[in-house]
Structure 1
C-alpha cells in the first residue's frame, strides 16, 4: 500500500490477500512514530525519511533535526521501504496526514497508545523478493503531487479518464468508487496500457470477478486513448501479482469465485480464535497484538471467507449508514480521512467492518449477476 495516502492495498480483496506477507513491524513502527513526534508533526514523508535514515540534507540541518535522538535510527532501512511503511501505518490508523498540497504527518491517539503500551504490531506487504520499479513522483500538469508517491510515471490524462469511468460505474451500481478499483489499479492501467484481457488481468486489484465484469468497460477506453496518442502497451513484470489469473479457465460459469491462496498462519490463528467466540479484545491479548491489528485481520478474513458471520461485531444500523455515507464520499475508502470526517465517536474497527461489508455485498451482487 502507500505513502502520503494509504492507497488501496486494502489487504481485503482476493489479490491483496494472496500476495502479501506478514511481518513484525513493532520496532520500525515505534521508530517512525517517534520520528514524526520528535520533528514536530509538521513535515511530509521525505523529511521524516531523511531524519530516520540519518541524512544531512540542508533541510535536516537547518531545522536542527540532525541533533534529535531519532536521527539515523533507521539508517539500515531503504527509503522506499520507509515510504511504504508510512502508508501502512496510516492505513492502520496510527498515522494521519493533513489535506492539501503539502501533506504533513501526525501521530493519531491510537498511535500514541501503541507507543505507550508497547503492544506488538503485525503488518502485511508485498514480499520484498518481488521486483519493484524505481520510485518516481507522479505529478499533474501543475507540478503538484497527485495524491501520493507512485512507483510509475503513468499517463495522468488517461488516469483521469479511468477515474471518471470508475465513478460512472460506481454510481450506476450504487456503490462507493473504491469497490470498483482503487487508484493503484488505475495508475497501473494508465502506465502499462493493457490492450487485452490477459494484460488487464495482470493489473493489481483485478481479480477473476472484476476481470469478467469490468474488462469490457475499461479496455476500450485504454485502447482508444492509446491509439489517439500513439502509445503502445508496456510489458508487465512476469511476477506481477495475480499471474495465475491469466488462466482463462480460472473462473467458470457457476463457479465465479476465484481460487484463493490459504490464509497466512497469523490470519489463520485470528480466524480460529474468532470462530471459538473470543472477543476482539481477548484475541488481541491472547496474541499480544494491537486491537487495530485484529480488526485488520478480521477485515481480510471476512473478505476471503464470505461464510463467516460478523453480525455480532457490526455497529448499529444507524452507525453503519453513517459510516457507509462517509466511505462513499471518499473515492478510495482510505481509513484515516474517513475517520477524520466521522470524528472520535467512531472507531477504526467499525470503519473496517463496514468497508468489508460493502465489498462483500458488491462481490455477492456481481457474482449473482455473472451466474444469471
Structure 2
C-alpha cells in the first residue's frame, strides 16, 4: 500500500482515471485531507462506498500517531513526538508568534551529519522521510492545536539536502493551492552545508529562505564541530551561498551556535565579519543547547552580546535567537533520544 500523502493532485487524478473513476474525485479526496483535515477514507461522505473500497485497497493516509506532546509553560511552544507506521519516532515543534504559528519539522529519522552539538545525530540516520511523511507533520500538528500553521522551518531532525528529492517534492506539495498553500517565502530550509546540493537548489530558483549552519568563522574550528567541514571548506561554502543569492536574490541566513571558549571570542566575531562583509545576509546567534553527549557549554550572555556588537558594527544584521520551549527540551533530538532510551 502507498501513502496517499506522497501523491500530488495530478498523480491522484491520474490514479482515479486509471481505476475507472472520475478525475474530479481526486480533488474531493484532497479537499477532505488538506482542507477539512479528515484522515479516514470512511468519513469522506461525498465519496461512494465503491470508490472508498478502492482507495483503501491501494492507499493509506500516513498521518503519524502522537506518542507524546510537551507544552512549554514559558511560551506555549509545543513539542510533538510523532510515530510513523513503521514505529520510527521523529520530532516536530510548534512555536507561536504574533505573526502566526511556525512549525519546525524533521526530514529524516535521525541524521548522519555528525554535528557534535546536536542530539539528533548521536545515533546516526535510520532512514529518509518521504514527502508525504514530511507534510504529515504539519497536518497532524494543525489538527492537534486547532489552528493553521503559516510558517515552516526544515530544521528538525535530519539534513534536508541529504534527502534532496523528497524535500523538493515536499516543497512543491506544501506550496500548492490544493494542499496547504504555504508560500515559499514562509519556508526556511536549514543545511549544514552540502555545497553541491546548495548549488543545485539555487538552480531551482525557489523563493524559500536558505539558512546555513555555519557555527565557525574558519575551517579549524568548524572541523572540530561539524564533520561536513572536512569535505567542504568555509570558503567553498560561502562561495555556494553567493551563488544561491545571485540565482534567487534571496538573502542568506547564517546560523551560529555560540559555544563557550570555542567560537565565541571577539576575534572569532571579527573573522566572521571578514568573510561575510559585502554580502546580503543575516546572522542568527544561537545560545547552544547543552546535551550530555558532549562537553560543549553555552556562552555567557556578556560574550553573546559582545559577539553581536562586533557583527553589528561591521554592518551585518544580527539577532540573538529567542530560546523557545527551553523547559521542554525543545532542542533538536533531545526528546526523541530520551523516549527511545525509556
More strand by share: 2
The TM-score, its normalising length taken from structure 2, stands at 0.28
The TM-score, its normalising length taken from structure 1, stands at 0.26
Structure with greater contact order relative to length (CA < 8 Å, sep ≥ 6): 1
